[in-house]
Amino acid sequence: MRVTRCENPRFSRVPITDILATNLEKKATRDGYGAALLDIGAENPKVVVLDADLSGSTKTKKFSEKYPERFFNYGVAEQNLIGQAAGFALSGLIPVASSFAMFAAGRAWEIFRNSVCYPHLNVKIAATHAGITLGEDGASHQIIEDIALTRVIPGVTVLVPADYHQAAAAIKTAVAFNGPVYLRLGRPNVPSTYLATDTFAIGGSHVLQRGSKIVFIAAGVMVYEAWKAAALLEKETGVKPTVIDAYSVKPLDEKTILTETKDAKLVVTFEEHNIMAGLGSAVAELLAEKQPCRVHRIGLRDEFGQSGDAAALMKHYKLTAETMLPDLIALAQSAK
C-alpha cells in the first residue's frame, strides 16, 4: 500500500469486485507486519526491533536474522520490553516493540502510559494475537480490551489494519510518524481486501462501498465480515449499506464518518473486541456529540472469550457475516 502520513486519503481503489468470492487470497496481518519490517530495516538504520521471546509468532524473527545488531530480545519481561523501548527513543532511535497484545497492552500498560506516552516518545508497539481469533490459548490470552486500554491514553495513535497489505502499510506509516503508536495485529489468515498500491494514512479510513441509509463501520478482521454481511444483506433484502473501513481508530476519521452518516437512519459498528470503549464507542461518542444517529454495536458483549478454533469462536460469538445476518436483517427492517 502507498503510505501517506497524517492527511486523510480520499477513497482508494479496492480490488475486490465480488466480496462473496470463495477464492480470495488469505494472509495474516502479523505476516504483513513481519515482511514490512525487512523493508523498513533496509530503508531506515535508526529502526530497532524489540521482542519478548515470541519472535517466531510475532514475525520479527526474519528481522532478527537480517539485522541481528538491531534486534533485542527481553524474554518474558514485557514491562522491561516497553521500558527499554522508551530508552531507545530517548537515544534518538525508532524502536518497534512486539509481543502478544495481552502482554503489550495489558501487562505492560502502566509502563506504556507513563514511560512512553506521558513524555510522548517515538515508540511503536506492534501487538499480535489480539482478539478471540487467537483461538485455543483461551480467555487469558484473548485480549478484547486492548483498543479500550490504549485509545484512552492521551496522544496515542491506534491503528487496526484489516489485512496483510494494510498491516504492512500501517507499520511503515507508524515508523514515519513521530509519536507513540499502538498497532493491533491478528494471528489467523484473513482475506485480502486491499492491494499493495492502495493508500493508507493515520487519521484516515476507506469507504469500500456506498449505499442506502444504513452505514456499516468496521476495523480489523471485521472489515471483511462486515463487507460480506453487507453483500448478503443486499442479496436478501435489496438494502445496500455503505461500508467504511475505520482502520484508524484513533485519531478517528471524523470527517468521513460524519459525511457518510449525515442522512443515515442506522449505523452499525463491527469489532473483534468488547463493544465497551472500542471502535463502536468511538463512533457513538462522535455521533452523539456532533450528529445524533441510531448506533448498534456488534462485538463481544461484555464477556470473555474461550478456548477453541478461531473460526468456531467467530461463529459462536456471532461475528461472521452469516451468523450476523438475521440480526442485520431485523435491524434493516426497523430502520425503514
First to last CA, the chain: 38
The yes-or-no answer on residue 78 being catalytic is: yes
Under 8 Å between Cβ of 318 and 324 = yes
Select from 138, 120, 118, 119 the least CA-distant residue to 129: 138
- DSSP symbols for 174-205: HHHS-S-EEEE--SSEEE--S-TTSEE-TT--
Annotated catalytic residue within 25, 69, 78, 303:
78
**Counting Cβ atoms within 10 Å, is residue 68 exposed (0-12), middle (13-18) or buried (19+)?**
exposed
Hey, what's the cell of 161? Answer: 489494519
Q: Residue 301 burial (CB < 10 Å; 0-12/13-18/19+)?
A: exposed
> Grid coordinates 456471532 are at which residue?
318
- Angle, alpha carbons 169-172-176 (nearest 5°): 135
Residue 200: beta bridge partners?
3
Strand blocks (E) in 101-172? 124-128, 157-159
**Helix or strand holding residue 297 (H, E):** strand 295-300
Kindly report the CA angle at 25 between 21 and 31, in degrees rounded to 5?
150
Bridge partners (DSSP) listed for residue 207 = 244
Q: Which residues neighbour 263 within 8 Å (Cβ) at sequence distance 6 or greater?
A: 213
User: Catalytic site residues?
Assistant: 78
